[in-house]
Chain A
């Protein structure tokens, strides 16, 4: 006992806490990875391996049961929608090869592509589409459930190649809600009779997409291989896609520069110019992001607070904000000043030439004086005859934000201080933010990245519809309520003609700009980066479908 060597005894302590040479990564494995074959026929393949950095572990790989950006980023290559969306957000054939809009949008009939098979070899049929919508999307995909669900009368499948969507009234936005992000189609034969949220197939998924599942090691990597039976001729080119989970964005960028990964989804503004000068790295700019597309950083006013019920105060705040510095100093150029409540990314609905308040701090100060907020000697303002507010109350507003948006808060605080408004910054974790703003409604102002999505029905309506005030996160934060606007949104939803629909959205934008329940600050864009020799990427969804990494 006395001779027991000290170091060895310490090693015993360690060894007892450490299992002998732990296996590198636990993984659920469906099949062995296929060996990359560099000399495949021109019918596709031979594109080598693409290593993609993703920021978070998806948890599972079923995009039909969640709107989580993490899950969608990691899994969309495995699946298809009935349609895809092109760069202008127009629908293009995917699982559906053609479609017909009948009765002014009351009925949509889709002809499905022939010969499509699931990754396990089972043929894909209209029954899969009906099952996915009725049993999965309309129950568990929160966006599709909330928008398509109430409008839908039923889904019919007259034969294996035909799907008919019947609506209660004309429903215009359907085609923008059928891509792999809004409505990925999953296999009925593997999900029927189970709780789709707890089905083990979610960990070893089977889809129809360009790549098939190989293995998933949680928080480590997801391996996909080329789907040799993919319906698109000659695609995909890559033999293998490996998604690496790297939570730290700084580490992602270093891994890209070192060549450990080939693709990153988002380049931070400060790194952009350095990467731009690297001859081995290419950048791809886009308004679309895995978590949502066409996003506008938006400041909300809580219209239930007496101070903010005065339009003059809201307009004064909007005028006191100089928005260009947000683009320059916070986004480092990755975005632009917002010119309308609807993003310029939805070109047909985005209104131009609106009377958005221009930066004018003198006019802002004058409006505040007029509204009864009188500046004292030290520049701070106090109430004097403001309705619903005690005289002498100081003009102090809280400003709730995600910790990630703290720089917006700091710049806003500085700009508003110049006109005598004291902004108190309150950084809150996302779940706490959602609860405080939308359930408790305990705030004066906040900032939210409202993503418009591919259609205003998806991501714009929720901000203004009086039926969407309440406990639903990222809905109508301002509690803005105008029956005329509600009616216009209903009308737009039922107007299939795009020009006519665009006109209705123009009216809505004019009305809400005049009412100023929000300040639409900046449209944010994303920058992807990838390493040569990889090339041929799209910015979103099936981003690697036509890519190759072969020199």
Chain B
């Protein structure tokens, strides 16, 4: 059952991605800003700009350009980056690992911390701990990540001096193996915390309210009547059901997380896809922008499919047909 559902969902991915790309293609071409003017710099002569436009096919009409783009897309060819002269897809793919490391660890950390905080808050609902967690998460939720990032750099990076503030490795170290992994970990911590901050808040608040909801239900009363300990009621029953919406939200927030990574990567000099997207939009490097959107679009869609599948695992009542 689930297998057929999965195949159907996966078959929907290519048209969805192509749709995203065509819309993005039109948006970026209709938006003001000439890529050649961004690329060529100043003091050129008019013939130079004309040559560059012809080289990248930007002198053709928009429908013609769109036709060429779709034809190439079907051959998995997104063209050469205007700035780097290399295949756009290759440029983007080499940034994927660092972004996955950052966003992946942020998701794990935010989930574990957020769920834990939510449980703690729900267990002592309306008490002092609950209030403190509520205020804290509300604050985190309301804080923009670029500001939080700069604040973290100033306090934890500069004043306390615990963490490095930029890049992924120590430029003066030639470490390899485990030492390199530890070095990367040390550099990862601060941007990961900043990126996770908003997610922690969302997850904690959702978990708390979900558990409180569940605790008022009949099956919880039955569980308690059976004589189960309160901890067991919480963890085995209420939390399990309360996590269903949390999983949906985490799956749905992959896009948010990648958007947050654009800012966090810029602030911390983290060499990921987000920064590539930012600089490519500024330079109107259209092939790169479209390649990034292709990947991000696919990741968001895949994350949603995975969320659906996880649902079945978490809730035996759900069956896809």
Instruction: Report the Cα distance A499→B20, complex, angstroms.
Output: 62
Whether A384 is near chain B, meaning CB under 8 Å from some CB there, is no
Whether B269 is near chain A, meaning CB under 8 Å from some CB there, is yes
Please give, as numbers and ranges, the residues of chain B lying within 8 Å of A252 by CB-CB distance. Answer: 166
Whether A484 is near chain B, meaning CB under 8 Å from some CB there, is no
Within 8 A of A (CB), among B26-43: 32-35, 37-43
Within 8 A of A (CB), among B254-288: 254, 266-269, 271-272, 275-276, 278-279, 282-284
Whether B153 is near chain A, meaning CB under 8 Å from some CB there, is yes
Minimum Cβ distance to chain B for residue A27 (Å): 9
Summed over the interface, the residue pairs from A and B with CB atoms below 8 Å come to a total of 255
Count the A residues whose beta carbon is within 8 Å of the partner chain — how many? Answer: 87
Q: Are A18 and B101 in contact, with the CB atoms below 8 A? A: yes
Q: Are B164 and A248 in contact, with the CB atoms below 8 A? A: no
Instruction: List the A residue with the shortest CB-CB distance to B158.
Output: A254
Instruction: Report the Cα distance A462→B44, complex, angstroms.
Output: 10
Contact of B98 among A22, A244, A428, A459 (CB under 8 A): A22
Whether A466 is near chain B, meaning CB under 8 Å from some CB there, is no
Q: Are A59 and B81 in contact, with the CB atoms below 8 A? A: yes
Q: Are A247 and B100 in contact, with the CB atoms below 8 A? A: no
* Given A22-B101, A245-B269, A246-B166; A51-B172 close (CB under 8 Å): yes
Instruction: List the A residue with the shortest CB-CB distance to B187.
Output: A24
Q: Are A197 and B85 in contact, with the CB atoms below 8 A? A: yes
Q: Are B91 and A67 in contact, with the CB atoms below 8 A? A: no
Please give, as numbers and ranges, the residues of chain A lying within 8 Å of B172 by CB-CB distance. Answer: 49, 51, 242
Whether A406 is near chain B, meaning CB under 8 Å from some CB there, is no
Instruction: Report the Cα distance A31→B261, complex, angstroms.
Output: 32
Among A19, A22, A428, A475, the one with the most B-chain Cβ atoms within 10 Å of its Cβ is A22
Whether B60 is near chain A, meaning CB under 8 Å from some CB there, is no
Please give, as numbers and ranges, the residues of chain B lying within 8 Å of A432 by CB-CB distance. Answer: 32-33
Q: Are A244 and B100 in contact, with the CB atoms below 8 A? A: no
Contact of A258 among B46, B158, B303 (CB under 8 A): B158
Q: Are B32 and A435 in contact, with the CB atoms below 8 A? A: yes
Please give, as numbers and ranges, the residues of chain A lying within 8 Å of B283 by CB-CB distance. Answer: 431
Among A10, A60, A202, A429, the one with the most B-chain Cβ atoms within 10 Å of its Cβ is A10
Please give, as numbers and ranges, the residues of chain B lying within 8 Å of A59 by CB-CB distance. Answer: 81, 83-84
Whether B209 is near chain A, meaning CB under 8 Å from some CB there, is no
* Given A248-B267, A260-B171; A10-B153 close (CB under 8 Å): no
Whether B45 is near chain A, meaning CB under 8 Å from some CB there, is yes
Contact of A14 among B80, B91, B108, B158 (CB under 8 A): B108
Please give, as numbers and ranges, the residues of chain A lying within 8 Å of B100 by CB-CB distance. Answer: 17-19, 22
Q: Are A146 and B45 in contact, with the CB atoms below 8 A? A: yes
Q: Are A7 and B112 in contact, with the CB atoms below 8 A? A: yes
Q: Are A67 and B42 in contact, with the CB atoms below 8 A? A: yes
Contact of A25 among B157, B168, B279 (CB under 8 A): B168
Q: Are B40 and A219 in contact, with the CB atoms below 8 A? A: no
Please give, as numbers and ranges, the residues of chain A lying within 8 Å of B166 by CB-CB distance. Answer: 53, 244, 246, 251-252, 255, 260-261
Please give, as numbers and ranges, the residues of chain B lying within 8 Å of A218 by CB-CB distance. Answer: 91, 94-95, 271, 276
Within 8 A of B (CB), among A1-58: 1-2, 4, 6-7, 9-19, 21-26, 33, 35, 49, 51, 53, 56-57
Whether A394 is near chain B, meaning CB under 8 Å from some CB there, is no
Q: Are A13 and B45 in contact, with the CB atoms below 8 A? A: no
Q: Which of B64-72, B132-140, B218-226, B308-316 contacts A (4 or more CB under 8 A)?
A: B308-316
Instruction: Report the Cα distance A9→B115, complex, angstroms.
Output: 13
Please give, as numbers and ranges, the residues of chain B lying within 8 Å of A33 by CB-CB distance. Answer: 174
Whether B154 is near chain A, meaning CB under 8 Å from some CB there, is yes
Whether A220 is near chain B, meaning CB under 8 Å from some CB there, is yes
Whether B297 is near chain A, meaning CB under 8 Å from some CB there, is no
Interface string of B162-177 (1 = CB under 8 A from A): 0011111111101000
* Given A251-B153, A459-B43; A10-B250 close (CB under 8 Å): yes
Instruction: List the B residue with the shortest CB-CB distance to A143.
Output: B43
Minimum Cβ distance to chain B for residue A402 (Å): 11
Whether A385 is near chain B, meaning CB under 8 Å from some CB there, is no
Q: Are B98 and A14 in contact, with the CB atoms below 8 A? A: no
Contact of B171 among A13, A242, A431 (CB under 8 A): A242
Within 8 A of B (CB), among A172-202: 195, 197-200, 202
Q: Are B42 and A142 in contact, with the CB atoms below 8 A? A: yes
Minimum Cβ distance to chain B for residue A489 (Å): 14
Whether B97 is near chain A, meaning CB under 8 Å from some CB there, is yes
Whether A430 is near chain B, meaning CB under 8 Å from some CB there, is yes
Within 8 A of A (CB), among B167-217: 167-172, 174, 180-181, 183-184
Within 8 A of B (CB), among A345-387: none
Instruction: Report the Cα distance A147→B44, complex, angstroms.
Output: 8
Instruction: Report the Cα distance A221→B250, complex, angstroms.
Output: 33
Instruction: Report the Cα distance A16→B80, complex, angstroms.
Output: 30
Instruction: Report the Cα distance A462→B98, complex, angstroms.
Output: 43
Whether A474 is near chain B, meaning CB under 8 Å from some CB there, is yes
Whether B104 is near chain A, meaning CB under 8 Å from some CB there, is yes
Q: Are B167 and A246 in contact, with the CB atoms below 8 A? A: yes
Minimum Cβ distance to chain A for residue B268 (Å): 7
Instruction: Report the Cα distance A470→B39, complex, angstroms.
Output: 17
Minimum Cβ distance to chain A for residue B95 (Å): 7
* Given A142-B43, A260-B171; A56-B279 close (CB under 8 Å): yes
Please give, as numbers and ranges, the residues of chain A lying within 8 Å of B250 by CB-CB distance. Answer: 10, 13
Interface string of A219-249 (1 = CB under 8 A from B): 1110000000000000000000010111110
Whether B118 is near chain A, meaning CB under 8 Å from some CB there, is no
Count the B residues whose beta carbon is within 8 Å of the partner chain — how many? Answer: 87
Please give, as numbers and ranges, the residues of chain A lying within 8 Å of B266 by CB-CB distance. Answer: 247-248
Instruction: List the A residue with the shortest CB-CB distance to B274.
Output: A219
Instruction: Report the Cα distance A33→B302, complex, angstroms.
Output: 40
Q: Are B154 and A25 in contact, with the CB atoms below 8 A? A: no
Whether B141 is near chain A, meaning CB under 8 Å from some CB there, is no
Instruction: Report the Cα distance A244→B269, complex, angstroms.
Output: 8
Whether A427 is near chain B, meaning CB under 8 Å from some CB there, is no
Instruction: Report the Cα distance A430→B184, complex, angstroms.
Output: 35
Please give, as numbers and ranges, the residues of chain B lying within 8 Å of A26 by CB-CB distance. Answer: 94-95, 97
Q: Are A260 and B32 in contact, with the CB atoms below 8 A? A: no
Q: Are B104 and A18 in contact, with the CB atoms below 8 A? A: yes
Contact of A254 among B108, B154, B168, B169 (CB under 8 A): B154
Instruction: Report the Cα distance A538→B167, complex, angstroms.
Output: 26
Whether A458 is near chain B, meaning CB under 8 Å from some CB there, is yes
Interface string of A55-95 (1 = CB under 8 A from B): 01101100000111000000000000000000000000000
Whether B48 is near chain A, meaning CB under 8 Å from some CB there, is yes
* Given A19-B100, A244-B166, A247-B269; A10-B111 close (CB under 8 Å): yes
Whether A436 is near chain B, meaning CB under 8 Å from some CB there, is yes
Instruction: Report the Cα distance A255→B172, complex, angstroms.
Output: 13
Within 8 A of A (CB), among B1-58: 32-35, 37-46, 48-49
Q: Are A24 and B32 in contact, with the CB atoms below 8 A? A: no
Minimum Cβ distance to chain B for residue A160 (Å): 30
Instruction: Report the Cα distance A16→B303, complex, angstroms.
Output: 9
Instruction: Report the Cα distance A203→B85, complex, angstroms.
Output: 10
Whether A520 is near chain B, meaning CB under 8 Å from some CB there, is no
Q: Are B105 and A18 in contact, with the CB atoms below 8 A? A: yes
Q: Are B46 and A434 in contact, with the CB atoms below 8 A? A: no
Q: Are A17 and B40 in contact, with the CB atoms below 8 A? A: no
* Given A14-B108, A472-B44; A219-B316 close (CB under 8 Å): no
With A143-B44, A431-B284 already in contact, 10 other A-B pairs whose C-beta atoms are closer than 8 Å = A13-B250, A17-B302, A18-B104, A24-B184, A247-B275, A251-B150, A429-B282, A431-B282, A435-B33, A474-B43
Q: What are 6 contact pairs spanning A and B, CB under 8 A? A: A6-B240, A142-B45, A247-B275, A260-B167, A438-B37, A458-B43
What are the 10 closest A-B residue pairs judged by CB atoms, nearest first? A18-B104, A142-B44, A22-B97, A431-B33, A474-B42, A67-B41, A220-B271, A26-B94, A219-B271, A431-B38
